[in-house]
Amino acid sequence: MFEIWTEKYRPKRLDEVVDQEHVVSRLKAFVQNKNIPNMLFAGPAGVGKTTCAIALARELYGDGYWRQNFLETNASDERGINIIRGKIKEFARTKPIGDIGFKIIFLDEADALTQEAQQALRRTMEKYANTTRFILSCNYSSKIIPPIQSRCAVFRFKAIPPEKMKECLRRICQNERIEITEESLDAVVRVSEGDMRQAINVLQAVSITTRKLTVESVYEVAASLKPEEVKDILELSLKGNFTQARDRLIELMVERGMSGVDVIKAIHREILHLPVEEREKAYLIDKLGECEFRIVEGGSEDLQIEAFLAQVAALRNKIVR
Q: In what order do the strands lie in the sheet with 70-74?
A: 70-74, 103-108, 132-138, 39-42, 153-156
Predicted local confidence at residue 1, as pLDDT? 45
pTM exceeding the 0.95 threshold for the entire prediction: no
Residue scoring higher pLDDT (24 or 272):
24
What is the phi-psi region of residue 2: left when phi exceeds 0, alpha when psi lies from -120 to 50, beta otherwise?
A: beta
Task: Please provide the DSSP assignment of 227-269 as one string.
Answer: HHHHHHHHHHHHTT-HHHHHHHHHHHHHHHT--HHHHHHHHHH
pLDDT digits (tens, 9 = 90+) for 193-242: 888 999 999 999 888 888 888 888 888 888 788 888 888 988 888 888 88
| Torsion angles phi and psi, residue 74, rounded to 5 | -95, 110
User: Are 196 and 160 contacting, i.e. CB atoms less than 8 angstroms apart?
Assistant: yes
Reported confidence tier of residue 134, pLDDT bands at 50, 70, 90: very high
Q: Which of 69-78, 101-110, 202-211 has the lowest mean pLDDT?
A: 69-78
Q: What is the pLDDT of residue 90?
A: 82
d(CA 260, CA 300): 9
At 24-71, the pLDDT tens digits run 999 999 999 999 999 999 999 989 999 999 999 999 999 888 999 999
Does residue 79 register a pLDDT over 80? no
Domains identified in the chain and CATH numbers: 5-156 (3.40.50.300), 162-222 (1.10.8.60), 227-316 (1.20.272.10)
The three-class DSSP label of residue 199 is helix
On whether the CB atoms of residues 191 and 222 are closer than 8 A, the answer is: yes
pLDDT reported for residue 319: 42
